[in-house]
Each structure stands twice: as C-alpha cells, then as structure tokens.
Chains A and B, each alone.
Chain A
C-alpha cells in the first residue's frame, strides 16, 4: 500500500493578485519537492498560466467565483490541480500557436506553455467546474527508485482516491 501524498490546498479569489500568489506558492512547493531551479521555473510558470486561464476564460474575471489550487507531493512526482467555475474546454480544440497563421495572434499561448513545461496535462469538466491536472516527474535517483517500486493506476489515481474519500466524508 502506497503512502498518502503530502498536499497543499489553497482557494484563491478571482483577481490578478491571486495569479502572482499562486505562482510563488508553486515555486516554493516545487523547491520543497526537490526540483532544481530550472524545473521550479517551468512548474511555477505552468501554474501561472493555468491560473491566468482560470481567471480569464474559466471564471471570466467574475470576483464572486473562486479558483482552487491543490498540490500533491509524491516521492517521484508533483501533481497540481487548478480548478475554476467555468464551462471548460477541450484540449484538442485549442488552436496551435505555432501554426503559421497563429504566430502573430496576441493570445492563445498559455496552454501551449503549460504542455511544454509539464510532463502531463489533462482537463476535466463536470458539474460547472473545470479542473486542469498537471504532472511533473522528479528525475532524481530516489524518485526513480520510487517509480521502480511500482505505483499502479496512473499518476493521479491516489490523488483522485483521496479527493473522493474526502468528498464522501462531507
């Protein structure tokens, strides 16, 4: 039986200052998880872009809505969830900003950067809530040993189980 991940949960207001706050929190969590400076930068930037997406497109800058930011620290990876109260989107329908016709567009690079900087990215929309789940794997010997020990069920399984278990207790 695998151990529960360490976790950090934050609820942010829908305002620009929350984006800076979430970015700084992500950098500190990534540092704590054992990522080097370059990886900390990539993770915090991916979180920043996720929060911008939640602020602008998900919650439509509606101050009455909240943004959820959850971190799950596993021995071999960091899982980040960013949730908003928007209708959601499909990753495959987001235009490619590298396409020639999209290079001069003023927007549309956030999700591309998230996917470029993280190892995994998934989006799920349900019951008026959209959740972006990001995963970054640690490339340290200890993390590799942890992976070899086996953690079946996919990277987000334990986090999902924890969330469901927590929900059932409410």
Chain B
C-alpha cells in the first residue's frame, strides 16, 4: 500500500496531489521526502491536496504535523485542501484542525498564500 504524489505549480504555489493512504513506513517516508525536496528547491508555499487520501494513521498524522513544523521553520506555509470525511473526522478528533489551515476550494486556497 503506497501513496502517489504529483506536483503542480499554481500561481507560485506548489500543489502536491496525494493519492492513497498516508501510513507508517514507505507512504509517510515518501511524503517526508517530497516536502524535503520542495524546501531544498526554495519552495515555501505548499498546498497538500488530500482529495484522494481516504486514510491516514497516527504515523501519517505525525508526518503531516512534522511537515507543517518544518515548512514553518523554513519561513514557509503548508496548508491542506479537500479533506475526505474520514480525514476531516480524524483531524477533528485529534484537534489538528486547530493547527492546519484547511480549504475546500483550490482557487481560494492558492489566493490565501498571497
């Protein structure tokens, strides 16, 4: 079980389209590596599109939080887009909804970085 990551540039914002499950092991490592590469390239406006992510476990949540902190420490912003119900519920129950800026409209999400 892995995760697919594809990258787009929308008005200076890097949108990472994630598909699959963000879980312990290779999927979490893949997300970590993708974010690390973006930071190395100097990208500081990152939007994670989770429309096709219907499962995140505690390791995946930890990876999201870690990514958020790392990007912030580099002077950037990491925001979330299009949460599925299960992921939304998970962020609610863990109170991570209060940490992440979450959007359900890509154009408005991109605009929020300006």
Distance (whole angstroms) from the CB of A150 to the closest CB of chain B: 33
- From B4-12, B41-49, B57-65, B105-113, the one touching the partner chain is B57-65
Q: Taking CB as reference atom, which chain A residue is nearest B95? A: A98
CB within 8 Å for A110 and B99 given contacts A41-B86, A104-B69:
no
Contact (Cβ within 8 A) B57 A106: no
Chain B hits for A41, CB < 8 A: 86
CB within 8 Å for A104 and B59 given contacts A109-B94, A113-B94:
no
**Residues of A within 8 A of B (CB-CB), count:** 21
Contact (Cβ within 8 A) B93 A113: yes
Contact (Cβ within 8 A) A52 B93: no
A residues 37-79 in Cβ contact with B at 8 Å: 41, 45, 48-49, 52, 55
- Report Cα–Cα, A95/B66, bound state, in Å: 18
CB within 8 A of A52: which of B26, B58, B96? Answer: B58
**Residues of B within 8 A of A (CB-CB), count:** 23
Chain B hits for A103, CB < 8 A: 65, 95-96, 98-99
Interface of B is mostly: helix
- Report Cα–Cα, A59/B113, bound state, in Å: 44
- Report Cα–Cα, A112/B98, bound state, in Å: 17
Interface of A is mostly: helix
A residues 107-126 in Cβ contact with B at 8 Å: 107, 109-110, 112-113, 116
- Report Cα–Cα, A23/B61, bound state, in Å: 17
* A169 contacts the other chain (CB 8 A): no
* A29 contacts the other chain (CB 8 A): no
9 additional A-B residue pairs with CB within 8 Å, beyond A52-B58, A106-B69, A109-B94: A20-B1, A45-B57, A98-B95, A104-B99, A105-B65, A106-B66, A107-B58, A112-B94, A113-B58
Q: A residues near B, CB below 8 A? A: 16, 19-20, 41, 45, 48-49, 52, 55, 97-98, 103-107, 109-110, 112-113, 116
